[in-house]
Structure 1
Amino acid sequence: MGAGARHRGCRFPGVTSTDAATSARPPRHWEADVLLRDGGTAHIRPIRPEDAELLVEFYSRVSDVSKYYRFFSPMPNLSERDVARFTQVDYVKRVAMIMLIAGEMIAVGRYDSIEPGRAEVAFLVEDKHQGRGIGQLLLEHLAQAGRERGVERFVAEVLPDNQAMIHTFKDAGYQVKSAYDEGVMELEFRIDPTDTAIGVMEQREHRAESASIERFFQPRSVAVIGASRRQDTIGRALVRNLVTGDFTGRVYVVNPSADAVSGMPAYKSVGDIPDDVDVAIVAVPADAVQDVVLDCAAKGVHGLVVISSGFAETGEEGRVRQRKLVGLSRSYGLRLIGPNALGVINTDPEVSLNASLSTLMPPRGRAGFFCQSGALGSAILEKVNNRGLGLSTFVSAGNRADVSGNDLLQYWLDDDATEVVLLYLESIGNPRKFSRITRRVSRKKPIIAVRSGRSTQGVPMGHAVRKIAAPSQAVDAMFRQSGVIQVDTLEEMFDVAQLLAHQPLPRGRRVAVVGNSDALGLLAADAATSVGLVVNKQVALGAEAGAEDFEDALDAAIDDPEVDAVAAIYIPPLNVSGEDVANVLAAVGEQSDKPIVSTFLGAEGVPELLRVPDVAGSSAGRGSVPSYPAVEAAVRALARVVEYAMWLRTPDKASADDELVDRQAARRLVNELLMKNPDGLDLGLAEQQQLLGAYGITLWETLTVQNLDEALRAGEDLGWDVVLKATADHLRHRPDLAHVWRNIDNREEMADAWATLSELITEPETAGFVVQKNAAPGVPVGISSMEDPLFGPVLSFGIGGPLTELLGDRSYRIPPLAEHDAQDMVREIKASPILFGYRGSEIVDVTEIEGLVRRVAQIQHDLPEVRALDLPLILAGAHGASVLGAAIRIEPVLDARSDWFVRRLSTPPGDTLPD
């Protein structure tokens, strides 16, 4: 596969006889590990002059047909001049990217500028690697490099019968224009990261990451490397669990010093195994794992599950060892679960894979579970079994050096066997990507998550993550915004999971409580009200109520159009089993289209008596009624599910103020300023007004004054009716000091204001006095945004003033915003009644405030160079809002959001990518 060019009668468009910029260096973030369409990995980086030998070897393996498609003429070999021109580029007007696997070049793509803003793009992919999505990946990375270098359009020439390359361009999500000239197709398209192009990229990312995980869950053969004859060893346990778990594929054991393990023949190395090996489970000492990687790569193994410890969890030496392990694995096309992992489980009877250290194979169920801690993973599997919940698949990823929860989410999105996703997160390596994926998954399947370290922001040893500058409230907001059901404990996770796995979603908050205990009924009603549910039907059946009484009451509650869910309470009299009532509950639960939770005999989980047979083979079928040992747990789980159901019914419509936005003008301004100030700068008033104005935000004129004469001139220039105020932080945030003098209409009043404020304020020369036009009265509010180095854009809103800061009364969201997000932000702060006529005050123009919130979010989303943006004082009145001040800091983008517009695998901080 290749796309080439014939412009100006030259095979190398844009190349002159001299190339003066061969000593230039490309940005570090242009280098990345990437995932191919089939789930294999590769490495992409800019070409270097020393790659000449790699290029020649690569070219020798490419077929004559692919060479012809690339150059439009027979070109069996590259001359020394050709090689020099291809490998020596300036990384500005001429950029080339190569892709490598196991140190061999398998593809090259390049663009060459032919005029300002316009460049010609071409590719060449080794034949045996064609069909793996390499062309699309190279195009993504070249387009992003081009955007950073001011390129706006790509052009390409393709022979008409080179359909693969034509589809590469047309399927990229860009608007491609085509024409014919002398039998050659000429394609041209803008490379803006449009919503369509980003959507196409995300779909390809989803398919590739899902395919890479499927290799672990659907192996036809597994090799245990490090299996031992001793009973108490990890390797021996892994073999035993695979065999006793009835794995339907082939199991091989590798031990260089044994002839047999557990009655199975042992091979000296994985390379000695006569058949293919899909997955290798590695349980050898940490310093031997890298040799195992090389053996597995040579054998053609698809994935590694590294049980071995001794990596990042042990300290700096282990972190170095772990970085090398990940780099080596990816460079050879392998994905890695672990190290320090518990393992992988798939309960599908057609696979029945227990490639883990857990002796317990969980029952077949509807939930997929991802966790990180191996020790905790064992406890989780026991809890699942005791509750009768069941799992579809399970991964305990240990240090999650490569495969993470994001990868599992991509797989579970399309996995028909998984209806509920459970996550125990000790850290989040890529919150931006997590937010993007969970927004999509939650629309199809509920996600329940426990996040440890919420208060302390602690990260376990072995988890290399960049520091999040955003407050913990922003992380919580991201979970809510994405539809993730965040719970506080593992117990609550299972409480919610068993309800979602077996019962339908509620339509609303209205609950009926039916039970034979008045005391527990009242307790349930109080608990439900405290968590936001509405109890509008309460049926007390009495202690002697039997199965028939329960059936009538439950049927009536379910048939009541004013009821959305039912809480059933049954505490039996002495010496009564309750089996008849259980049969009623199970029968009603199977037929009901409304969820039922129960406190039945104080049992936990899905008791055998309340289970509905499942034709799919799960431990408990759809309609089974979950039981909780306490009514508080039952209604708390129901409340979590209600919130998720409400989120699902909220339209996921993107907010839009496009008629007010001039993105090109804003982008042009930022680029021009950073060209003059490469280290970044704080914008002045005129620049602030220009940037905000591009997004429809009017910033009031502010005149800085150093003395009374300047204040008088400022008042005259503004036509009086002005204010004099101090803007220094130590004054603005002091509620005990008056730092503003309003309604100044002439020189005498200005002189009086200046004298009074100067006398009141200690060291008035540091007060930062300004003069502004008097604004209409209103409620002070503030909107801020920032670019977190790990999180990306973060937005916050609150009522202005120091009390808001002291109480932490701010709402947060992660752009891009949906239409309802701005409305929710304004209403969810505790002080929001002030905006809506509190104690008879005037209702402010909330619509205008919501519009400002959306537009600030759009600025931060569009421009990662905006490091921080603060509108600290917005006066919100009944008929509009006045933006009285701003502070904006812009800085060059180094690695920020490098995965937004190109597919790349995450690299932990401090890691070095392989050559």
Structure 2
Amino acid sequence: MADVVPRDPNSGPAATPGPGAAPYPAGWEADVVLTDGTTTRLRPIRPDDADALQAFHVAQSERSTYLRFFASLERLPDRDLARLVTVDHVTRVALVVVTGSPDVGEPERIIGVARYDLVEPETAEVAFNIADAHQGKGLASVLLEHLAAAARERGVRRFVAEVLPQNGRMIAVFKEAGYEVRQRTEDGVVQVTFDIDPTERSLAVAADREHRAEARSMRALLTARTVVVVGPGDEPGLELTARQAQRVVAGLAAEARAGRLTVHAVGVGDGPDLRDGVRHHARIGDVPPSVELAVVALPAARVLDAARQLGALGVRGLVLVSGGFAEAGPEGLARQRLLLGVAHGAGMRVVGPSSFGLLATHDGTTLDASLTLRPPPPGRIGMFCQSAPIAVTLLAAVGRRGLGLAQLVSAGHRADVSGNDLMQFWGEDDDTDVVALYLESIGNPRKFSRIARRLSAHKPVVVVTAGRSGHVVPPGHAVRPTRAPRRTLEEVLRQSGVVRVENLHQMLDVVQLLAHQSLPRGRRTAVLSSSTGVAALVVEAAAAAGLVVTGRVEMLGEDAAPDEVADAVGRVYGDPDVDVVIVVRIPTLGGADQVVAREVAQAAARTGRTTVACMPDLHGVTPELTAEGPDGRARTVPAYAAPEDAAVALGHAARYAAWRAVDRGRPVQPAGVDTRAAGRLVARLLATSGATDGSPLALDPGQAADLLAAAGVHVWPSVRVRDADEAVAAAERLGWPVAVKTTVPALRHRADLGGVRLDVADEAELRADVAGILALAGDQDPRPDGPPLEVQAMAPHGVACVVRSTEDPLFGPVISLGVAGDAADLLGDVAYGVPPLTDVDVADLVRTPRAAPRLFGYRGLPALDVAALEDLVARVSVLADALPDVRSLELNPVVVSPHGLAVLGAYASVAPADRADAARRLARP
């Protein structure tokens, strides 16, 4: 117990880092969002924090000091102050939460401290202290999450804490974190003990805390009622930023005149359209405090100072419409990081740089803090985009279609606020029914997948990406590089349940359907058409979109009387075997058919049958195709320019409805997976490798087998041999029959080329096969390291598969499965998954390759043990998800037989990794 931080700092020796001290762990630094929606910075403590820690201690109430140290203590003695700020980042770790930004001359203030001290192997005592003024914001929970993550990196398995009984709030933090807490009382002190390995509940608790905090931070921006716009004044050469500032003020002025917004302006012209209702000021310091939102249009060099002054006003969000940051090169990226330091240190979120701004309607008030000339009408669609020019295009298209928006946020270069933040908000927003995202880059795909899956479970999310692969990164976007296959992003989006579309036009096609019609009950499709030729095209388009035309194709001539129209529509909507309806009414003389439009709109609203239409002169959301449903809510049949567009949108909606109706399973947790033991093995291998350049360390077969054994995966043993005599001896030890293989890379696993000989039953046959393989491999280049042959006991016959995992800097772990063979390699017949996976994800992964039917009794052969293969994939996914230092893992071949499987080869490499943590918000690629 000698290293425990004493409750009374007047006892115990002063500490200095020992020889085992680690370098300052910059990777533990984080920008975090608190439960009140504000931001702050978290980092390891440093020796130069002594004055700030003393100031923090002195400012605490007597009660808080007593609960922390079990004694009254006005000041920390110098000796013990030095001890508290001097840690080795291994056995003694301390994290602080700070406000302020010293990079721009603002002193940091400590508002929270958490520390652990190792008391025995794998056990550490923890202590927390939160500033009185900042209690109730979730600081202790955030510190516990980060301290536990740091402790796990250092091999700590459990935390203990001694807490006074009256400190119920701290005990509640431990219990509410989702850990299994054990407590006992001795000598009037409660001792709390809990393991810190993540559990399903602790992960859910952390995700829920993050969700509520980020949603609240976005709500503060989108429901702001006090806004300040900062422009450059009339300084020559800054006409663009001046016009931007004036455009924003003009958009806010109408609501300001109506008294629904309070709008301040600094450095913005005060022409007739900018004067009424807007309060102009000469300097930011003249603006009254308690401003909620700031819109800044300034040269990049002046933004930092403006942000510092705005933080002092209590601003919660800063929308930066001007550029000159990360897209301007290294100097601009450094300026962007300083900006985030200033903003987050003051509790502000940043939208931009190079943002088009934001639009939001809430409780009858429209907040138009954007550069648009004509905002769209209010609606129930939430929209997010990154590029400002794309925002212009989107708003124009939204206007042409008559769509209404609940919110539009343009993140620009996405230095801080991202689509993930907005999805967190939309998950809680009752005013939004449908979400649409235009993404030029995804900075944290793992977090995106988790949040999108949660949101998609109850609201449709329609996504279009600037590039299909995720490999293209626009200038100004701080995104890690990726080595993942180009289909990885597609798999991330598929697992997330989002509706992925090809372009902006298609995105709006789908959005207008999902916003104004019920979800399809199925794929059975009826067609109501004005001509047989058009009907045939519609049937083909529907089939191509994944719909099923049931045979209900109703013809309606151009000269049909109103009663004939009503009868035809009634037959279509009265058919119980119809789920969705496509109406194509194109009279040769042109013009909309008001009778057909009215009958279709009323039938669709009355029955709730999902309907799309293609009719001349009607596009998007129109009054002609709107009718009131039984619930009194107006519903509109969306109109499309072409029947193919309507069918594609309907197909996307049907697939999404099917995804949402199916149970997506639970995270896989195979029994016998000991990720902690695997982590200790990897740490030991890295520590003894001597490698300092971060290059991967290839494991030998025994090490790879040990790594997989920790995950409950058995690798069949094999013996490396040099000649026939050693091969025979190995076969005698392993037992006949055996397989003999070359270790030459070009021929490894190639039975078709003679590099593998199977079912070798006796010595004579083995000697002959050894001679043949050696002759075949003799001319190969490169030659193998070590013995050229490998002997292994013969596994039961079955289908050979390959299971791989790769740690990618951007996507994290990527799992793949293919049926072994040239066809799979040449045709790319490989399925991908991104952990964490559910049991449903694993089942889908195994069934996705085109060659997967070979596992299920292909052409009369017996069905194989697919459950064993799913179990193997689950174990590999859990191992890869838990251990980012496992750079690559390949199980090849995995022979799946009717009863079980055999892992016959395993290859692995390890290297230190820096996986993007979902809780970190630093602008570092």
If the length of structure 2 is used for normalisation, what is the TM-score?
0.92
- Per the alignment, residue 624 of structure 1 pairs with 636
Post-superposition shift, 1:813?
Answer: 0.9
> Partner letter of residue 831 of structure 1?
A
Residue 572 of structure 1: aligned partner: 587
Partner of 2:572: 557
Q: Matched residue of 2:427: which SS?
A: helix
Q: How much does 1:186 deviate? A: 2.2
CA distance 1:629–1:455, change in 2 (3 Å)? same
Q: 1:120-146: per-residue Cα shift (whole Å, max 9, x none)?
A: 211122211111111111111111121
Q: Which residue of 2 aligns with 1:28?
A: 26
Letter in 1 for 2:367: L
Distance 2:203 2:13 in 1: 35
Equivalent residue number for residue 915 of structure 2: 896
Unaligned runs of 5+ in 1: 910-915
Q: How does 1:713-752 map to 2 (within 5 A)?
A: 713-732=729-748, 737-752=753-768
Q: Tell me, what secondary structure is at the counterpart of 2:853?
A: helix
Q: What pairs up with 1:172-183 in 2 under 5 angstroms?
A: 172-183=177-188
Q: Measure the CA separation in 2 of the matches of 1:874 and 1:800.
A: 9
SS at match of 2:248: helix
- Counterpart of 1:56 (choices 54, 57, 60) is 54
Residue identity in the other structure for 1:511: T
Kindly indicate whether residue 701 of structure 2 is the aligned counterpart of residue 703 of structure 1.
no
AA aligned to 1:147 is R
Cα separation, 2, equivalents of 1:333 and 1:614: 46
- For structure 2, list consecutive stretches of 5 or more residues without a partner in the other structure: 101-107
Alignment size in residue pairs: 899
Give the match for residue 785 of structure 1.
805
Q: Secondary structure at the match of 1:166?
A: helix
Deviations 1:852-896 (A, max 9, x none): 222221221232222111112122233332221111122334x22
1:365 to 364, 379, 386: 379
Larger relative contact order (C-alpha < 8 A, sep ≥ 6)?
1
Residue 109 of structure 1, CA deviation: 1.4
Q: Secondary structure at the match of 2:671?
A: helix
Distance 1:396 1:720, change over 3 A: same
Indicate whether 1:797 and 2:813 are aligned.
Answer: no
Q: 1:660-700 CA distances to partner (integer Å, 9 max, x unpaired)?
A: 43444434433443443364633333333333233333222
Q: Counterpart in 2 of 1:913?
A: none
Partner of 1:865: 885
- Partner in structure 1 of residue 105 of structure 2: none
Contact in 2 for aligned 1:516/1:545 (Cα 8 Å): no
**How is 1:294-693 mapped onto 2 (pairs within 5 angstroms)?**
294-348=308-362, 350-454=364-468, 457-536=471-550, 537-572=552-587, 574=589, 577-601=592-616, 603-612=618-627, 623-656=635-668, 658-677=670-689, 679=691, 681-693=697-709
Question: Do the aligned residues in 2 keep the contact of 1:5 with 1:12 (CA within 8 Å)?
Answer: no
Instruction: Give aligned-pair identity as a percent.
Output: 42
8 A contact 1:5–1:71 mirrored in 2: no
**Given residue 512 of structure 1, which amino acid in structure 2 is its aligned partner?**
A
SS of equivalent residue, structure 1 residue 382: helix
Q: Could you tell me which of 846, 862, 868 is aligned with 1:848?
A: 868
1:819 and 1:643 mapped to 2: Cα distance?
20
Aligned partner of residue 658 in structure 1, secondary structure: coil
Cα deviation, 1:514-554, whole Å, max 9, x if unaligned, reads 22221111111111112221111222233333444343333
Rate the CA distance shift 1:275–1:95 in 2: closer, same or farther, 3 A: closer
User: 1:850–1:897: structure 2 CA closer, same or farther, 3 Å change rule?
Assistant: same
State the AA in 2 paired with 1:11.
D
Are residue 287 (structure 1) and residue 301 (structure 2) matched? yes
Q: Could you tell which deviates more after superposition, 95-104 or 766-775?
A: 766-775
Q: Report if aligned partners of 2:664, 2:841 keep a CA contact under 8 Å in 1.
A: no
Match of 1:912 in 2: none
Q: Distance in 2 between matches of 1:143 and 1:9?
A: 20
Decide which moves more: 144-153 or 79-88. Answer: 144-153
Provide the secondary structure at the position in 1 that maps to 2:173.
helix
Cross-structure match for 2:104: none
Q: Which amino acid aligns with 1:223?
A: V
**Aligned residue number for residue 67 of structure 1:** 65
1:386-427 Cα deviation digits (max 9, x unpaired): 112211100011111111111111111110111111000000
Native 8 Å contact 1:796 1:811 kept in 2: yes
Displacement of 1:607 after TM fit? 2.3
Query: 1:217-232 counterparts in 2 under 5 A?
Result: 217-226=222-231, 228=233
Give the Å deviation of 1:635.
Answer: 1.2
Q: Are the counterparts in 2 of residues 55 and 105 from structure 1 also a CA contact under 8 Å?
A: yes
Contact 1:794 1:815 in 2 (8 A): yes
Mapping for residues 99-118 of structure 1, pairs under 5 Å: 99-102=97-100, 103-118=108-123
- Secondary structure of 2:652's partner? helix
Moved more, 684-693 or 251-260: 251-260
Q: Secondary structure at the match of 1:352?
A: strand
1:244-283 to 2 correspondences below 5 Å: 244=254, 248-255=260-267, 262-263=275-276, 264-283=278-297
More off after superposition, 424-433 vs 856-865: 856-865
What's the offset of the Cα at 1:291? 1.0
Query: Structure 1 17/217 Cα, relative in aligned 2: closer, same or farther at 3 Å?
Result: closer
TM-superposed deviation, 1:44: 1.0
Bigger shift: 214-223 or 269-278? 269-278
Once the two structures are overlaid, the 10-residue window that deviates more, 875-884 or 798-807, is 875-884
Distance 1:75 1:809 in 2: 68
Task: Please give the alpha-carbon distance, in whole angstroms, between the structure 1 residues aligned to 2:215 and 2:369.
Answer: 19
Please state how far the C-alpha of 1:494 moved relative to its aligned partner. Answer: 0.7
Change (3 A) 1:266 1:522: same
1:723 partner letter: A
Tell me if structure 2 keeps the 8 A contact 1:227–1:283: yes
* Cα distance, 1:66 vs structure 2: 1.1
1:155 equivalent in structure 2: 160
How big is the alpha-carbon RMSD for the aligned residues of Structure 1 and Structure 2? Answer: 2.7
Q: What CA distance in whole angstroms lies between the structure 1 residues aligned with 2:363 and 2:547? A: 40
Deviation at 1:622, TM superposition (A): 5.1
* Separation (CA, whole Å) in 2 of partners of 1:66 and 1:286: 43
Establish whether residue 236 from structure 1 lines up as the match of residue 249 from structure 2.
no
Tell me how far apart the structure 2 counterparts of residues 465 and 888 of structure 1 sit (CA, whole Å).
27
Q: Distance in 1 between matches of 2:264 and 2:631?
A: 30
CA deviation string 1:59-79 (max 9, x = no partner)? 221122211111111111111
Please say if residues 14 and 82 of structure 2, whose CA atoms lie closer than 8 Å, have aligned partners that are also in contact.
no
Q: Counterpart amino acid of 2:715?
A: L
Taking a change above 3 Å as real, the CA distance of residues 665 and 576 of structure 1, as seen in their structure-2 partners, is closer
Question: In 2, distance between residues paired with 1:66 and 1:432?
Answer: 38
Tell me the TM-score normalised to structure 1 length: 0.93
Kindly provide the CA deviation profile for residues 632-670 of structure 1, in whole angstroms up to 9, marking residues without a partner as x: 111111111111111112212225453343444434433
| Contact 1:227/1:234, CA 8 A, preserved across alignment | no
Q: Does 1:204 align with 2:203?
A: no
SS at match of 1:386: helix
